């Protein structure tokens, strides 16, 4: 088959890898001037760094298997992580269960409840039993007290804003499962994975392997239309880097664009289109600072304080060697926002003016002079809002247009979206496409 893939992120390239390895002719079209999607990189201190913070958990089996398959298994390294939480005007270490018992922002009995509650959620095996309730309701009813009010409620509200009370409980369940899986030993110390050379190592190798199998990855080449004839996807209209449009015929097409963008490419039946447009995405705004010294001693800092205008701090070089970045300390300031939020429209300088006064809450000695360089990135479709009973609303990968498939983060469930699950989905899509082709061949015979 000749297969067109829209998008050179994790899902698109994983699908292209498996399809091309089975002898199919694969052409991948990416509108951006780079591959990797949300795991793509920028140069920081002379080395590549992800535009948005990235790491792996020990149970991220899909990407680990893929890395083995393309000969990169040994490049994945594991590092101890330290987690902190800022609440009630103070930073608390919250890496292990023992740390939760020392969380002085809440009464001792609530600390015990918080630790036991986390273990209880971790023991739940069937997420379907949780699907009818929101995380906010489930937590307030079953945990409640200061543990809910001072820890989980601010985190939910900080991440999801006005949508915080719409998030299905399976989302929270998935987060707890992932975190617990990455904790090792009796003390529950967390370890996280990061590939040597950044996630570029993985994406560059994927592109190389795909093209060695006679596939092709085109960057700066957006798809403007999926051409459909008699209900069957027949061709893609693409705009090449020189601005000229051309039409390329395919036996089938896989799109990995966000749900709200997909209807711009192809006419779809109203029922399926509604499933796409009903999903609301939050945008991500990320500021990356190169600094002369670290802000804190933590890798991951949860901000559980509504007065602080950002969601979290990820100090990349508190887990990874700062020598990779010319000796600079690398800090992500991250935020999820509705695209209509005024903060989403702020410039890099305006964001710094908004954020930096609050940095002293984390470290009273912080001074703006510590900052040596500033980088900024925004993603319009970073976090889909996944409500209750979402399994009934997920758009099918097989679209109503024959031989046209869709794979994006709204179809990752019950886990939260992430690079690992996008790789898994891409490989599942390749298997689906090949299985469908075999079935079509049997039907024809």
Does pLDDT of 160 surpass 70?
Answer: yes
The whole-number pLDDT of residue 445 equals 54
Q: How close are the terminal C-alpha atoms of the chain, in Å? A: 17
Q: Where are the alpha helices (DSSP H) in 397-444?
A: 419-444
Does pLDDT of 184 surpass 60?
Answer: no
The whole-number pLDDT of residue 188 equals 59
- Computed over its alpha carbons, how large is the radius of gyration of the chain? 22
Q: How far apart are CA 355 and CA 353, in angstroms?
A: 6
pLDDT tens-digit readout, 398-431: 999 999 999 999 999 988 888 999 999 999 999 9
pLDDT tens-digit readout, 336-348: 999 899 999 999 9
Confidence of residue 174 (pLDDT cuts 50, 70, 90): confident
pLDDT tens-digit readout, 200-229: 999 999 999 999 999 999 999 999 999 999
The whole-number pLDDT of residue 443 equals 67
Other Cβ atoms less than 10 A from the Cβ of 53: the count is 19
Q: What is the pTM of this model?
A: 0.93
The whole-number pLDDT of residue 245 equals 95
Mean predicted lDDT score pLDDT of the chain? 93
pLDDT tens-digit readout, 29-83: 999 999 999 899 999 999 999 999 999 998 899 999 999 999 999 999 999 999 9
pLDDT tens-digit readout, 94-123: 888 788 888 999 999 999 998 888 888 888
pLDDT tens-digit readout, 404-413: 999 999 999 9
CA distances from 220 to 49, 84, 146, 402 (A): 21, 40, 50, 27
E-strand stretches of 208-251: 216-218, 223-229, 232-239, 245-249
Report the Cα 198 to chain-centroid distance in Å. 16
| Mean pLDDT lowest among 150-164, 175-189, 191-205, 321-335 | 175-189
Per CATH, the homologous superfamily of domain 280-384 is Protoporphyrinogen oxidase, mitochondrial; domain 2 (3.90.660.20)
* Beta-carbon contacts of residue 84 (< 8 Å; ≥ 6 apart): 91, 92, 93, 94, 95, 296, 298, 300, 301, 302
What CATH number does the domain located at 2-37+199-279+393-444 have? 3.50.50.60
Q: How far apart are CA 223 and CA 30, in angstroms?
A: 8
Q: Helix or strand or coil: residue 52?
A: coil
Average pLDDT over residues 125-140: 93
The whole-number pLDDT of residue 319 equals 97
415 or 256: whose pLDDT is higher?
256
398 pairs with which residues across the strands? 405
Domain spans in the chain, listed from the N-terminal domain onward: 2-37+199-279+393-444, 95-183, 280-384
Q: Where are the alpha helices (DSSP H) in 88-152?
A: 97-101, 108-123, 135-142, 145-147
pLDDT tens-digit readout, 8-24: 999 999 999 999 999 99
Q: Are strands 76-80 and 189-195 parallel, antiparallel or unpaired?
A: antiparallel
Average pLDDT over residues 247-268: 97
The whole-number pLDDT of residue 186 equals 41
């Amino acid at each position: 088959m000749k297969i067109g893939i829209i998008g050179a992120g994790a899902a698109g390239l994983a699908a292209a890898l498996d399809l091309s390895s089975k002898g199919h002719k694969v052409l991948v079209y990416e509108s951006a001037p780079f591959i990797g999607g949300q795991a793509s990189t920028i140069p920081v201190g002379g080395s590549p760094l992800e535009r948005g913070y990235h790491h792996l958990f020990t149970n991220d089996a899909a990407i680990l298997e893929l890395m083995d398959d393309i000969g990169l298994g040994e490049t994945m390294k594991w590092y101890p992580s330290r987690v902190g939480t800022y609440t009630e005007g103070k930073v608390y270490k919250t890496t292990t269960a023992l740390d939760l018992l020392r969380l002085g922002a809440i009464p001792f009995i609530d600390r015990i409840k918080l630790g036991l509650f986390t273990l209880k959620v971790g023991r739940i095996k069937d997420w379907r039993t949780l699907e009818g309730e929101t995380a906010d309701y489930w937590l307030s009813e079953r945990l409640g007290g200061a543990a809910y009010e001072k820890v989980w409620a601010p985190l939910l509200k900080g991440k999801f804003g006005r949508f915080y009370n719409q998030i299905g409980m399976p989302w929270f369940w998935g987060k707890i499962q992932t975190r617990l899986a990455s904790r090792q030993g009796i003390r529950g110390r967390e370890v996280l994975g990061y590939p040597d050379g950044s996630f570029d190592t993985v994406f560059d190798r994927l592109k190389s392997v795909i093209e060695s199998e006679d596939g092709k990855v085109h960057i700066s080449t957006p798809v403007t239309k999926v051409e459909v004839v008699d209900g069957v996807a027949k061709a893609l209209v693409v705009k090449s880097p020189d601005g000229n449009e051309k039409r390329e015929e395919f036996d089938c097409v896989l799109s990995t664009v966000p749900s709200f963008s997909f209807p711009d490419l192809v006419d779809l039946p109203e029922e399926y289109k509604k499933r796409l447009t009903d999903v609301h995405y939050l945008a991500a705004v990320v500021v990356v600072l190169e600094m002369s010294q670290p802000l804190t001693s933590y890798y991951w800092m949860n901000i559980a304080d509504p007065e602080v205008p950002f969601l979290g701090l990820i100090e990349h070089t508190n887990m990874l060697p700062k020598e990779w970045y010319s000796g600079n300390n690398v800090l992500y300031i991250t935020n999820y926002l509705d695209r209509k939020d005024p903060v989403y429209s702020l410039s890099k300088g305006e964001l710094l003016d908004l954020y930096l006064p609050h940095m002293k809450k984390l470290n009273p000695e912080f001074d703006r002079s510590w900052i040596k360089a500033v980088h900024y990135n925004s993603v319009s479709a970073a976090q889909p809002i996944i409500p209750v009973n979402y399994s009934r609303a997920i758009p099918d990968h097989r679209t109503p247009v024959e031989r046209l498939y869709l794979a994006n983060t709204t179809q990752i469930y019950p886990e939260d979206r992430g690079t690992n699950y996008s790789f898994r989905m891409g490989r599942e899509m390749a298997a689906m496409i090949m299985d469908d082709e075999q079935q079509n061949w049997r039907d024809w015979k």
